[in-house]
Structure 1
Amino acid sequence: MAGCIYGSGSRRNSSCRNAPPRAGVSWERVMTLLFNADNEKELQHVGRLLQLGGVVAIPTETVYGLAADASNVKAIQRVYEAKNRPADHPSIVHIGRVGQLTDWAVEIPDAAYQLAEAFWPGPLTLLLQRHPHVSPLVTGGGYGIGVRLPAQRHTRKILSDFNLAVIAPSANMHQQLSPVTAAQVMQQLDGRIDAVLDGGRCDVGIESTIVDVREGTPRILRPGLISAEQIAKVLGVEVETPVRHRVSVAGNQARHYQPRTPLEWYQVGAVLTDNDVVLVREPLSELGGRQIALGGDPEAYAHELYHTLYELDQQGLARILVAPLPQDPAWLPLTNRLERAVTA
């Protein structure tokens, strides 16, 4: 495991593991290593590090996740400490092959396997009944467990080669922006985790769809780019999309995904300063140079959203404003993220 060191710097070794933490800091500050996912030796090293109880930020097709062996309670605790994440907030278990489902869930319905065949590997999380051996720390104390098989090839190879399953909540401080590059992970977590696996920028850009298939009508509990319509087509049944629910799942907090810069909804005619910027789908003539167009369709917009918010957060702006999105089911995942991110 990496040793204790103060400062940034990656790809270094240190032997000062027993150095005392700074005042008021309960976690042990470590030297965060940076690994290249395209280097096979470094990829295998990350797999061994996870096996040994390490905490590593890994790329997925959605966002970077903060990974730890899902069967190692101490490693899971380190993830929560590094993120300042509440212990009652559940994590999603990421597996490397469908056959691992029975290691983590019981009473798995046929619908789960149908959806796995249709959408895995990919950005769909199945909410199932957790296996009795699974630590309640994984599920936030609940009996449901979210499981998915990520599509990012480097991460999937590690999980498959090492027969691993990992928790992988977004690799950021709790409630802050989810990172989509290794550099963004380092901005928030350098010195708090053992390593970051750099697999490039995430393709999707927002978190996975979570669908509850435990009993009765399937319900989408966190919208993502895999839609209710797509799921219904596979299952041949209606899929519910409640606006609000009380099921404890990842990302279901009133405030989440927030940049440091104040984020507000933009209203036509609002008075803007030179230190404001407006995020839009496509350019609006009345905004001139004070706008950034993210894309006219949900996939393009999702790919750019967190990345753009991270970039703007470095510019010392007074405000970031967001033009409202269409009232269309395809845009629901983006509206969901932004409603949790706005500060006014």
Structure 2
Amino acid sequence: MYTKIIRLDPLNFSIDQLQEAVDLIKRDEIVAFPTETVYGLGGSAFSETAVRKIFKAKGRPSDNPMIVHISDLEMLSSIVKTIPEKIRKLCERFWPGPLTILFDKSDKIPDIVTAGLSTVAVRMPSQPLALALIKTLGIPIAAPSANLSSRPSPTQAKHVFDDLQGKIPLIIDGGSCDVGVESTVIDVHKGFSVILRPGGVNLEKLREYLPEIEMYREKNIDKLDEYSPQSPGLKYKHYSPKAEIVLIEGSIKFFEEKIVSLYSEYRLQRIIIGIIHTHKNIQISSEILDDPNCKIIYLGSLDSKTDSDNSINADKIAEGLFSTLRAVDNQKIDLVIVEGISDKKIGLAVMNRLRRAASKIIKE
């Protein structure tokens, strides 16, 4: 299959430029498209044929539910049983945007979309191309991330092409994704409020509207058989490059110490070692810096006003996370040592992805 790429400016495009994608989806084909979080691989949420094609292209397990994307609340009403007032207010506050909410699904949504669950995960993207595509199509789009399962999510059209070339007919290239990590997924309809997956809307923001909301693991809800998994991204290992990841959680000094000890341990294996740091200024010995088999990668903001500014920009780290993990593979790195960040605000989503990708976690 030939994979065509259409490059569009999300701030300057015409609806006619989306017509090819619309026609494909109406024929039960699938299309990759940009959202504000990551690129999605979408097909009609009403078509079992299209959804099966998504599973096949990604190599995605069929018991992993998908998110359904809508363009307005009228479309939401057509695919869920009810919209409680509490949830409607959340929709009005956070949509369009990177928040996915669980609802009791209507019979219009095939069971294959929800992996047989009675609930459906729904969100309204804010990316102009995604929103216009759904609105023009006139039906909701079922779409997981547009990557091979277990690989880092795609935040650029090139990432989609690298993974899915020859497997899908069309990629809409709308540039890099602004948020860089997937949407936050919440469930507020079963007598409690819980974040199933942290993402683009942080816990602190949600607590302004839902003071009682907690993280999934903190509530121990995963111990309930009927509750696992209710959300995309809970059951399987995700977000991993081919390289082994060793995640270091602690102070800058602790990270620097672990670089030395881990480098001494792993260099004897004659492998390519990567070091990803999130603070701009860290102490790395000349021996490591001069080693051609050691690659240093800075994941953070390059716009610090002075070299003495060693703060981190969690939003920039989130935006560049998946691109950096893909760069690890491009540089043929075998093992990468990663500096963790605080799990406050969007840092919670970043650390969630790194912990799920890591083979080993070392804490101070």
TM-score by length of 2: 0.82
Correspondence for 1:49 = 24
Structure 1: how far apart are the matches of 2:112 and 2:317? Answer: 34
Correspondence for 2:298 = 292
SS in 1 for 2:42: strand
Give the drift of 1:254: 4.5
* One-letter amino acid matched to 2:331: Q
**Count of residues paired in the alignment:** 314
Structure 1: how far apart are the matches of 2:173 and 2:358? Answer: 29
Correspondence for 1:282 = 279
Correspondence for 2:6 = 35
Give the drift of 1:223: 0.7
* One-letter amino acid matched to 1:45: E
Give the drift of 1:207: 0.4
1:241 to 206, 215, 221: 215
Structure 1: how far apart are the matches of 2:131 and 2:97? Answer: 11
* One-letter amino acid matched to 2:214: E
SS in 2 for 1:265: strand
Structure 2: how far apart are the matches of 1:329 and 1:94? Answer: 24
Structure 2: how far apart are the matches of 1:257 and 1:285? Answer: 26
Correspondence for 2:99 = 124
* One-letter amino acid matched to 1:33: K
* One-letter amino acid matched to 2:115: G
Correspondence for 2:262 = 271
Structure 1: how far apart are the matches of 2:19 and 2:51? Answer: 21
The alpha-carbon distance between structure 1 residues 162 and 327, as it changes in their structure 2 partners (threshold 3 A), is closer
Q: What are the superposed Cα offsets for residues 170-199 of structure 1, whole Å, 9 maximum, x if unpaired?
A: 111111111111111010100011111101
TM-score by length of 1: 0.86
Correspondence for 2:340 = 324
SS in 1 for 2:121: strand
Correspondence for 1:13 = none
Q: Which runs of 4+ in 1 moved over 4 A?
A: none
Q: Answer yes or no: is the 8 Å Cα contact 1:37–1:43 preserved in 2.
A: no
Q: Answer yes or no: is the 8 Å Cα contact 2:28–2:44 preserved in 1.
A: yes
Gaps spanning 5+ residues in structure 1: where? 1-29
Q: Answer yes or no: is the 8 Å Cα contact 1:225–1:299 preserved in 2.
A: no
Structure 2: how far apart are the matches of 1:306 and 1:249? Answer: 20
Correspondence for 2:240 = 258
The alpha-carbon distance between structure 1 residues 331 and 159, as it changes in their structure 2 partners (threshold 3 A), is same
**Aligned: 1:196 with 2:171:** yes
Computed over aligned residues only, the root mean square deviation of the Cα atoms, in angstroms, reads: 1.8
SS in 2 for 1:104: coil
Structure 1: how far apart are the matches of 2:89 and 2:176? Answer: 29
Mapping 1:1-344, distance limit 5 Å: 30-38=1-9, 40=14, 41-235=16-210, 237-243=211-217, 245=222, 246-266=228-248, 267=255, 268=258, 269-272=260-263, 273=267, 275-287=272-284, 289=289, 290-295=296-301, 296-328=312-344, 330-344=346-360
Q: Answer yes or no: is the 8 Å Cα contact 1:283–1:291 preserved in 2.
A: no
Structure 2: how far apart are the matches of 1:152 and 1:328? Answer: 25
Gaps spanning 5+ residues in structure 2: where? 223-227, 249-254, 290-295, 302-311
Q: Percent identity?
A: 31
* One-letter amino acid matched to 1:263: I
Structure 2: how far apart are the matches of 1:135 and 1:327? Answer: 36
SS in 1 for 2:35: coil
